[in-house]
Amino acid sequence: MRIRAVVILFFATIFTLIILNSQNHDICNNCNVVLISIDSLRADHLGTYGYSRNITPNIDDFANSGIKFTNYISQSYLTPISEMSVHTSLYPHVHGLLGFANEVLPDNETGGNYTVSSPTTIASVLRIYGYNTTIFSSSVEISRLKLVAADPFNMKAFNTFKFTKNRNLPDFNNVTNWIGLNKNNKFFLYLLIGTVHEPFADNVPSQLKSEFDPKNYSGPLKNVSLDYPLFERIYNGTYYNLSSDNMPAYNGTVMPGIEQYDRPIDYGFNLTTEDKAFVTGRYDAGVSYVDSYVGAVIRQIHNLGLDKNTIIIVQAEHGEDLGEHGYYWHYDIYDTQTHTPLLI
């Protein structure tokens, strides 16, 4: 990890752009704001950040036409925490959303009872200024907060909320139709995409899903879901057969798909170079699929003639470890999990 991490919070940047642009009505008056947040997207898996595999041509083109932040560091490796910082420009210890369980704040004046936290978010401010505020989300981590009575993410600041289940892409026609219906109004669109997040490539079309697999791969990971129940059993590059109650002992069961695989399974197996390449390939398939979607949304904004009065931000609230530190998923503050893209 780098010794110094430069933290860029762009809440103020957005408003600066709106104010500066609104001073010249030929450029932008009451700019729309489109915030595209891609869950689990690492900066170093985009071509514009130096990735060798050409999987993000649309986002790369967008980066070339705008502002690219090369040292953008997320405030957390967990979605709710870092996204709250994005929407409030506050550090986690200030905005108070510190984890999945920390969804309300204690009120010392009421003897420790829990009361609603009402953060000031970009949506709440823009709504005061007459913006139509809407979420289209396929990220479970944020969408579930809508069900919490305390409303920790200030969902009431959004006029409408559309949730796509199972981390599928938000319906393209619904998103672009909404933009078209609101093209004569000023709007804030929060497009939250959970498709890159594990389970890797589960929601990717079959023709793309295996495009980046190692040639003729037939290892133990081929026919299993690359999801958290799998990744939580990988430590220091080894998959461990743990019992259902998480006791670290072999209980006579093995992961589906490896019963006949030619390697010892007394405790599990060590991931080979091919196994690791397979996981990375499936992750990249998800990134490629999302890139096509983001490109189509941006093109539609241009087709509707909104490119001159719309600020578009593409960012990720955290990245993903892909075996660099012996494990998969996002547990820590390594660059793989906190160095993310920010493009305006």
| pLDDT score of 116 | 39
Q: What 8-state DSSP symbol labels residue 238?
A: E
| pLDDT score of 336 | 97
| pLDDT score of 21 | 52
Residues 34 and 312: their CA atoms lie apart, in Å, by: 5
Residues 248 and 241: their CA atoms lie apart, in Å, by: 8
Residues 325 and 231: their CA atoms lie apart, in Å, by: 13
| pLDDT score of 103 | 47
Q: Which spans in the chain are helix H? A: 11-22, 57-64, 79-88, 92-95, 122-128, 140-143, 172-181, 206-209, 228-231, 273-303, 335-338
Architecture of the 11-201+309-343 domain? 3-Layer(aba) Sandwich (3.40)
What is the Cα Rg of the chain in Å?
21
Q: What is the pLDDT along the chain (344 residues), one digit of tens a residue?
A: 443 333 344 555 555 555 555 444 455 678 999 999 999 999 999 999 999 999 999 999 999 999 999 999 999 999 989 999 999 999 988 888 887 655 444 444 444 444 435 679 999 999 999 999 999 999 888 777 776 666 778 888 999 999 988 899 999 999 999 999 999 999 999 999 999 999 999 999 999 999 999 999 999 999 899 999 899 999 999 998 765 444 333 334 444 444 444 444 446 789 999 999 999 999 999 999 999 999 999 999 999 999 989 999 999 999 999 999 999 999 999 999 999 999 99
Contacts 24+ apart (CB under 8 A), 212-217: 212/53, 212/55, 212/280, 212/281, 212/282, 212/284, 212/285, 212/288, 213/278, 213/281, 213/282, 214/274, 214/277, 214/278, 214/281, 217/274, 217/277, 217/278
Token representation of residue 211: 């495009």
